[in-house]
Amino acid sequence: MAHCDQFKVLANDQISPPHGSVPTTTIPLTFFDYLYVLGAGEDVIFYYEFPYPTHHFMETILPCLKQSLSLTLKHFFTFVSTLVIPPKPNKPYIRYVADSESSVPFTVVESTVDFNHIVADYQQDINKNLESFLVPKKTCRNFLEDENGTRYVFPLLAIQVTIMPNSGFCVVVNLHHLAADGTAFKHFMKSWSSVCKRLLNISPNSKVEDRNDYSSPIFNDGAMVQSPNEIELSFLNQVWKRAPEFFKMLNGSWSGSSEATLGNTANVKATFKLSQVQVDKLKHWISHKYYECSAATNNGSEEKASTVRLSTFIVTSSLIWVCWVKSEDNTKKEDEEHSYFFSADCRGRYEFVSIPSTYFGNFTAPVYVTLKRKQLIEENGIVEAAKIIGNKLNDLDKNGVMKEAEKWISNFADKIVSRSGILIAGSPKNNLNEIDFGVGRPKKCEFLGFYGGEGFSLFDCKDKNVGGLNLLWHLKGPK
């Protein structure tokens, strides 16, 4: 574990929207949100080069970070809200109370950690790499007792800034997945960073213009995202059924950060870069192999060879899936099934054409595909993986994402918790490497927080001239 003397807390602040800017508001959850009600915190880390001493950061960058966050939270107030889980049969909801003590914990820390080591791509032990101390701590959950029973109240966001003098700093955003999916989170981060960048570029005595540099988010009003009653009831029943076990696991206290879960999750990470040239070569190779297999299967016919779907996500996922399975214990049975989980964005799909693109919340459907281990480790394993992932996406486009909705929660729990599948987080389309607070684009972005402790996360490559992706591999290391 890391040594605490390598860190010194400089400030523990609470950031709220400007006084009187947001009225008391209750936001009902959708069936997309119910997937994450019983989830813990996930951390997204942005590393920035900053070759200046701590006092310079505290005097210049930090005030703008805090002021811009306050202005941004006026529009993205759900992050200052709490998740309320009332007793059955009442539904969970998000609640913001105007001008109360609702705020986002904002911690500032100075560290002697080697910045260049932390952002390096080579294999590292997460605990020894001090990431359990880089992540913020949210306020512990509250239990509110009344005549109707016990209500559980969870915070949704916490932020920590860690300064590594004369080398860099990192901004770590810990969020409850219930608050936002990847697209919504990107919307928030781009808005916050753009306001901060603007504040850095104005003179100290200038009047601050209170505006959102990006389109304002639109929240669920109870009627915007509709679901069949039987699906919503099924999701609620599964939440209520699993809630006692979840609260027992939390054992009376919850920091909401990866620190609380690192001991039971992955402790080894490594980053692999896949350039756009390599992605294109992989597409060409899979297409060629698919053509050969199709022609052989159809006695030389080229009819099916042209139907293969090869996006960057598909070929990258296929490579990840095969490499993951080959890295596993080779004593496993060849006919054992292995699943690959990912999320499909529902924005713009024909089932939800009336939902605006700026809808803020969770609007992704969990998707999984399954192959036998033998199919994945054989010579054409990547081709088989690409084919089944591509066919699944084609099926979603044609038949929609809702036909398997009742099984979303159970499938996830059965496959991920049982370790018969892996999870991919992030997307090449999120462009989180564009988040610039006024000091330049991130040196690196990382994601911490996998159910079961193992998985991959995808980030766009910082170097746009090279293109491609950064693949962050979290693996459960030896105890």
Residue 123 belongs to a domain? yes
Residue 376 belongs to a domain? yes
Residues 417, 297 share a domain: yes
Q: Which of 235, 261, 287 is the last residue of a domain?
A: 261
Is residue 415's pLDDT more than 80? Answer: no
Is residue 16's pLDDT more than 70? Answer: yes
Residues 20, 40 share a domain: yes
Is residue 471's pLDDT more than 70? Answer: yes
Give the C-alpha separation, 326 to 319, whole Å.
Answer: 11
Per-residue pLDDT averaged across 312-316, rounded? 91
Q: What is the dihedral of CA 7, 12, 17, 19, to 10 degrees?
A: -160
Kindly report the average pLDDT of the chain as a whole number. 80
Residue 77 belongs to a domain? yes
Residue 434 belongs to a domain? no
Closest to 72 measured CA to CA, from 106, 33, 100, 32: 106
Contact (CB, 8 A) for 25 and 80:
no
Residues 99, 146 share a domain: yes
Residue 222 belongs to a domain? yes
Q: Which of 206, 228, 261 is the last residue of a domain?
A: 261
Contact (CB, 8 A) for 470 and 271:
yes
The pLDDT, as a whole number, for residue 304 is 46
Contact (CB, 8 A) for 459 and 469:
yes
Q: Which of 227, 243, 261 is the last residue of a domain?
A: 261
Q: Kindly report the CATH number assigned to the domain that includes residue 145.
A: 3.30.559.10
Per the structure, the complete domain to which residue 23 belongs is given by: 4-261
DSSP character for 24? -
Residues 235, 99 share a domain: yes
The pLDDT, as a whole number, for residue 413 is 62
Report pTM.
0.88
What is the arrangement of strands in the sheet containing 157-164, beginning at the earlier edge strand? 7-15, 104-111, 157-164, 167-176, 41-50, 444-448
Residue 115 belongs to a domain? yes
CA atoms within 13 A on the CB side of 136: 31
Closest to 126 measured CA to CA, from 270, 269, 272: 269
Residues 443, 314 share a domain: yes
Residues 349, 232 share a domain: no
Is residue 2's pLDDT more than 90? Answer: no
Closest to 468 measured CA to CA, from 283, 193, 270, 268: 283
How many folded domains does the chain comprise? 2
The pLDDT, as a whole number, for residue 208 is 57
Is residue 340's pLDDT more than 80? Answer: yes
Residues 295, 203 share a domain: no
What is the greatest pairwise CA distance in the chain?
A: 77
